[in-house]
């Protein structure tokens, strides 16, 4: 597989990870980097990934051929929960070979693949495998989504420490302004802290502000 797959994770569920993934794909495409998004494992749906639908709305593309081929949503489970539990409820194991084949195909067709996970880095994919360990095994660079809400600094530092211990490279820290943070003082200070952190600890990583686009 080409080294053009970037794993997208975040500090928590509902941090706007899908929103940030779509925004990055849109901006990368506008810069001439042919980029597609993929959902590692979608839960809470049956036939179509709602996260992929959101990606396409923000990207302004409509559904792509690869969406119709299910390459961008290779595994979908019905119950809205952690992948390990969703697979158990639906009584079928996660097909990691199927996911790998889909990612491989997308990697060959595009310049970049943004592979969005479910929840944060410590979310279990199975009873034995955490998301962060899957990322480490595949050696994917990490796009990590954080925000300006209270608690984000703590969650970000814990995740980056765990990432570093496993040898995962931070490619981008995406500072998401969606959902909007009501406390402007906290938001501004958090952004300043994150920028300083990157300069000091991860100088090769990019800091990207994801603006509020007024869409869900």
Which two three-digit tokens encode residue 175?
């500072």
Which two three-digit tokens encode residue 66?
């690869």
* Per annotation, catalytic residue among 2, 3, 26, 39: 39
39 included as an active-site residue: yes
Q: Report CA-CA distances (Å) from 139 to 6, 10, 122.
A: 9, 17, 16
Q: For residues 208 and 148, what is the distance between their CA atoms, to the nearest angstrom?
A: 13
Binding-site residue set for ATP: 14-19, 51, 116-119
Is 125:84 a contact under the CB 8 Å cutoff? Answer: yes
Q: For residues 126 and 10, what is the distance between their CA atoms, to the nearest angstrom?
A: 19
Q: For residues 79 and 77, what is the distance between their CA atoms, to the nearest angstrom?
A: 6
Binding-site residue set: 14-19, 43, 51, 116-119
Binding-site residue set for substrate: 43
Q: Where are the beta strands (DSSP E) in 33-110?
A: 35-39, 42-43, 76-77
Return the residue matching tokens 């539990």. Answer: 85
List residues with catalytic annotation.
39
């Amino acid at each position: 597989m080409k080294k053009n797959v970037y794993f997208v994770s975040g500090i928590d569920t509902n941090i706007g990870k899908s929103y940030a993934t779509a925004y990055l794909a849109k901006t990368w495409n506008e810069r001439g980097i042919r980029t597609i998004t993929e959902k590692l494992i979608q839960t809470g749906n049956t036939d179509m990934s709602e996260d992929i639908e959101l990606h396409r709305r923000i990207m302004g593309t409509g559904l792509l051929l690869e969406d119709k081929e299910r390459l961008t949503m290779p595994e979908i489970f019905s119950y809205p929960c952690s992948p390990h539990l969703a697979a158990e409820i639906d009584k079928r194991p996660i097909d990691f070979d199927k996911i790998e084949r889909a990612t491989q195909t997308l990697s060959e067709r595009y310049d970049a693949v943004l592979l969005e996970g479910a929840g944060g880095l410590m979310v279990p994919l199975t009873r034995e495998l955490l998301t962060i360990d899957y990322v480490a095994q595949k050696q994917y660079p990490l796009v990590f989504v954080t925000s300006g809400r209270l608690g984000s600094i703590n969650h970000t530092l814990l995740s980056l420490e765990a990432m570093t211990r496993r040898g995962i490279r931070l490619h981008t820290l995406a500072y998401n302004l969606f959902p909007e943070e009501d406390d402007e003082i906290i938001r501004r200070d958090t952004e300043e802290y994150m920028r300083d952190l990157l300069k000091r600890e991860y100088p090769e990583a990019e800091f990207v502000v994801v603006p509020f686009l007024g869409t869900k």
